Structure formats: C-alpha cells, structure tokens
C-alpha cells in the first residue's frame, strides 16, 4: 500500500511540475511579446516554483482536513475550503463565484433535481 501511495504522490508531483512548467512558459511567452524582448525561465526556476506550490498544497490540505475533522466529517467540503480562504477576500470571492457557477451548471443539467442544496453558497459576510 505504501508503494501505491508513493507512486500516486510521485505522479501528482510530476503532473504539478508539468502544469507549472506550462503556465510559466505561457507567461514568459506573453511577457516576451509584451516587452518585445526574449524572456525565459530556467528549469531550476520551474522546479523551485513547483516545490513551493507543492509545500503550499500540503499545508492547505492539512488545514482543510483538520477543519472537516473538527466539524465531525470525514470528507472535505466546500465549506472547509471557504473557511481556509476566509482571510484572503479576493480568493474567497473567486471561490464563492466559482461555487455559484458550478451549482447553476449542475441545476441546468437535464434531469437535475430542483431545489438542489448548495453547499458553500455565496452569502454576504458581516
């Protein structure tokens, strides 16, 4: 079982490395065009950025799991993610809008139940 977990983590990290590399490449290309000069990122930069993102993912995942456990749940839900984002108003706003859009898409699907309960529904903060 430990081998399977290690393999899964390795594949996730490789996938993250690929995505970070793709995002960095797209951004450097855009910056090169915008400033009319060649801009590039080294593989070491991409690796360091990937490691930083991985560490942040580990930290956030531990926190949202703790929020779920504290609430007596074994599964992390949108409310846990929103709780994590509570101190970053811009991020919280983006997440709430995304949750609303997803809930609307689900409701618009053929055969969707009316009156679907929306976890994490956007509400005004006091």
Kindly state the average pLDDT of the residues 28-55. 97
Virtual torsion, Cα 113, 118, 119, 124, nearest 10 deg: 180
Look at residue 118 and tell me whether its pLDDT is greater than 60.
no
**To 10 degrees, what angle do helices 2-35 and 43-70 make?**
120
Residue 126 — very low, low, confident or very high, per pLDDT cuts 50/70/90? very low
Q: Which long-range contacts (CB under 8 A, 24 or more apart) does 77-83 make?
A: 77/119, 77/120, 78/119, 78/120, 79/119, 79/120, 81/120, 82/120
pLDDT confidence of 3, banded at 50, 70, 90? confident
- The DSSP code for 110 is T
CA distance 75 to 69: 8
- Nearest residue to 85 (alpha-carbon basis) of 97, 73, 71, 102: 97
């Amino acid at each position: 079982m430990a081998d399977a977990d290690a393999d899964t983590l390795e594949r996730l990290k490789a996938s993250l490395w690929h995505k970070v590399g793709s995002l960095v490449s797209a951004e450097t290309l855009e910056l090169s065009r915008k400033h009319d000069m060649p801009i590039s990122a080294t593989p070491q930069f991409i690796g360091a950025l990937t490691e930083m993102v991985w560490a942040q993912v580990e930290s956030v995942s531990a926190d949202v799991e703790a929020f779920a456990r504290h609430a007596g749940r074994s599964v992390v839900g949108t409310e846990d993610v929103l709780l994590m984002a509570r101190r970053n108003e811009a991020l919280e706003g983006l997440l709430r809008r995304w949750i609303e859009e997803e809930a609307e898409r689900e409701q618009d699907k053929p055969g969707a139940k009316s009156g679907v309960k929306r976890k994490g529904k956007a509400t005004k903060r006091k």
